[in-house]
Amino acid sequence: MNMNERVKKNWIEIQKKNSVPVNAIGVKIKSNDKKTLEKWKEEGIDAYLKK
| Predicted pLDDT of residue 2 | 77
Contact 50, 18 (CB under 8 A): yes
Number of domains composing the chain: 1
Output the pTM of the full model.
0.86
Domain range enclosing 44: 5-48
Q: What is the pLDDT along the chain (51 residues), one digit of tens a residue?
A: 678 999 999 999 999 999 999 999 999 999 999 999 999 999 999 999 987
| Predicted pLDDT of residue 41 | 95
Query: What's the rounded Cα separation, in Å, for the pair 34 and 51?
Result: 22
| Predicted pLDDT of residue 51 | 79
